[in-house]
Amino acid sequence: MENEHSDLIIGYLQGRLQGRSLDDFYVWVNENAENKRLFFETKALYEASLPFHKASEIHDSWLRLLDKRKSRQRKRFSLLIRISTYAAVAMFATAITSIAFVFSSREYGTQITSYVGGNGIEADVIVLPDGTRVSLGTQTSFSYDSRYGKSERVVQLEGEANFEVTKEKNKPFIVKTKEQSIEALGTKFNVSAYPTDSLLTTTLLEGSVLLTTQNLLHPTILKPNEQFIYNKKTQLTILQQVDANQFVSWTTGYYFFPEQSLEAILYRLSHVYGVQFTIESETLSRRTFTGTFYRGQSIKDIMEIIHLSIPIRYKIDDHHVTISEI
């Protein structure tokens, strides 16, 4: 079992997990707080070996791990040794640079607080030091460091989250994803930015936000009930009017889909349920559907609801669902 979890963590960090293996990782990491802590400790050590990470992250990742390993079980120490072996190749290539980072980081060390969104019916809600409320979607990674709230409020996001930002005029609130930076002073907005998704979606409920997107020349300012969609593959954008409340209903367990393609709906549900969908018809994948699903419904229930509107044949095989035309 130890080797199985080791392989899952290493595979996830190296981006090698797909399909069932990726689902197994998310199920394991959300089983309990101990698994989450182990994952983030291992992630910190692995990332500390990479040349493009900040000096403070390298220094503090090592300090936390060295301090905690004395009280960890033997199997955990074994896992860290395995991760260290994987990281050694990258560290060797950048040894001189990394040593300089470690020394300089002693003066500017930071502590990182991280969370992983659970699989409950309702969203996991965390409250940041300034009172800002963040609702985390399933399979979502969220973090901030100890500099939060000093001159600005910066958080990191992989996945989906809904933000209710406390107003602090001189301290902008910034959400950073891999491709975007979203800045707000005091507002309510929703961000969907799963690393495996081709679409990044930001929906504004109240206030205003400024989006700076990788590969786009000009930033975008959103007004209430506007939604900005960026396609990472094509670099095309869509700015549209929506009922923003419908796009945050997921925080209470409801997922609303207004006239969306079956492919888009199932792509969203794959994150919610940790299930992989395969549509065996290009025509079927483009068929549109409007509906509301509840997180408490089973995959079979959802397939039956879709079947009532769109004639489909489906087969459920554990964490994989195959859909075809009738």
DSSP codes of every residue in 79-143: HHHHHHHHHHHHHHHTHHHHHHHHHHHTTS---EEEEE---SSSPEEEE-TTS-EEEEPTT-EEE
Contact at 8 Å (CB) between 211 and 182?
yes
Q: What is the pLDDT of residue 209?
A: 95
Q: How much is the pTM?
A: 0.64
> Mean pLDDT per 10-residue run, the chain (326 residues)?
65 77 74 70 58 44 43 46 47 32 39 82 86 91 92 93 92 94 91 88 95 91 95 92 90 83 87 89 87 84 83 89 90
Distance CA(317)–CA(97), nearest Å, equals 49
Q: What is the pLDDT of residue 109?
A: 60
Q: What is the pLDDT of residue 116?
A: 86
Q: What is the pLDDT of residue 160?
A: 93
CB burial of residue 84 (10 Å; 0-12, 13-18, 19+): middle
Q: What is the pLDDT of residue 117?
A: 82
CB burial of residue 236 (10 Å; 0-12, 13-18, 19+): exposed
Contact at 8 Å (CB) between 271 and 160?
yes
